[in-house]
Amino acid sequence: MLRIALPNKGRLAEKALDLFETAGLKAEFSSQRALLAQLGPDFQAIFVRAADIPEFIADGAADVGVTGADLVAESGREVEELLDLGFGRCRLALAVPETSEIRHPADIPAGARIATSFPGITRSFFEAMGVEVEIAPVSGATEIAPHLGVADLIVDLVSTGSTLRVNRLREVVTILESTARVVVNPAALQDPERKQTIEELVTALESVLRARARRYLMANVPKARLEEVRAVLPGINGPTIVEVADDGAWVAAHAVVDANRVYQTIARLKALGAEGILVTRIERLMP
Ligand code: AMP
């Protein structure tokens, strides 16, 4: 039995559980607020804070985990990233009060005081720049620090930038881009049996991510326009063409298409005389 560490609450928790469930690994809790759950036949899930997950993986308390790339980097622990899950997208940015004259990192003077809940990443960033700064570690509400005179700058997570604007702060530079990742203890990959189970898990999760970005499209098209339809519906290996039980003038074309191109594809098919167009979600897609 392998152990998976999943975020117990916060921005990543629900999406992680949902992804596993779609991949066929539904969490079976033994009680309402359980910190443990069975996740299919091969995995036991433990629910912990996203920030603690790199630590749990590195220590071997769990074999695999889902957490933010920012938290992995901040932990400084040796864990291996296996998959980018795409959700939980944010960036760790350096920001200054709107009135500041700092426009580039190079404008930051030695001795500047920086409030952040990412002291490790911030320290490495300034060490690489060769600028000595003072770091004020905080555990939240970082944006308020410059207004309290606690710090000159901040390093904080940003997704839309609206929190920075509300607090009259301006972004200077992105230090790190983050999304949720599947991480593993490198030692778990040394054991062939565990390695195989982990690889199967990654394949299953990847198939869900791939499927989410695609749609299955079906349309009845005039047989005479088939060549043009083929150009509109490339599919994976070209569209699947199915006979329609009529007088032979129509065929049904089926293909997997990019979700963000469905709208355009439908318009093009209609222009070719297509009818009965049907678009459905795909649960999992293995190439
Ligand atoms: P939590 O504190 O449990 O809600 O999880 C925070 C993690 O969610 C961060 O470390 C990031 O990996 C991710 N995240 C995504 N967008 C944001 C955001 N706008 N602010 C903070 N965290 C975010």
Q: How far is the CA of 91 from the centre of ligand 1 (A)?
A: 9
Report pLDDT for 182.
Answer: 98
Which residue has its alpha carbon closest to ligand 1 atom 4? 10
Report pLDDT for 238.
Answer: 83
pTM metric for this prediction: 0.90
Q: Shortest CA distance to 286 belongs to which of 214, 183, 182?
A: 214
Ranges of each domain in the chain: 2-88+179-211, 90-178, 214-281
Report pLDDT for 246.
Answer: 86
Report pLDDT for 247.
Answer: 86
The tokens for 209 are 């991510």
pLDDT < 50 stretches in the chain = none
> Does the domain at residues 214-281 carry the CATH identifier 3.40.640.10?
no
DSSP string, 24-70: T--EEESSTT-SEEEETTTEEEEEE-GGGHHHHHHHTS-SEEEEEHH
Q: Quick one: which atom of ligand 1 is closest to the CA of 179? A: 12
Interhelix angle 13-22/192-212, nearest 10 degrees: 100
Report pLDDT for 204.
Answer: 96
Largest CA distance in the chain: 82
The tokens for 8 are 């117990």
Amino acid letter for position 73 = A
Query: Which CATH number is 90-178 given?
Result: 3.40.190.10
Q: Quick one: which atom of ligand 1 is closest to the CA of 7? A: 3
Query: Which CATH number is 2-88+179-211 given?
Result: 3.40.190.10
Q: How far is the CA of 50 from the centre of ligand 1 (A)?
A: 9
Report pLDDT for 177.
Answer: 98
DSSP string, 191-247: SHHHHHHHHHHHHHHHHHHHHHTEEEEEEEEEGGGHHHHHHH--TTTS-EEEE-SSS
Report pLDDT for 132.
Answer: 96
Beta carbons of 97 and 171 less than 8 angstroms apart: no
Q: Tell me, yes or no, if the two domains 2-88+179-211 and 90-178 fold the same way.
A: yes
Helices (H), 82-225: 119-129, 162-166, 192-212
Report pLDDT for 233.
Answer: 92
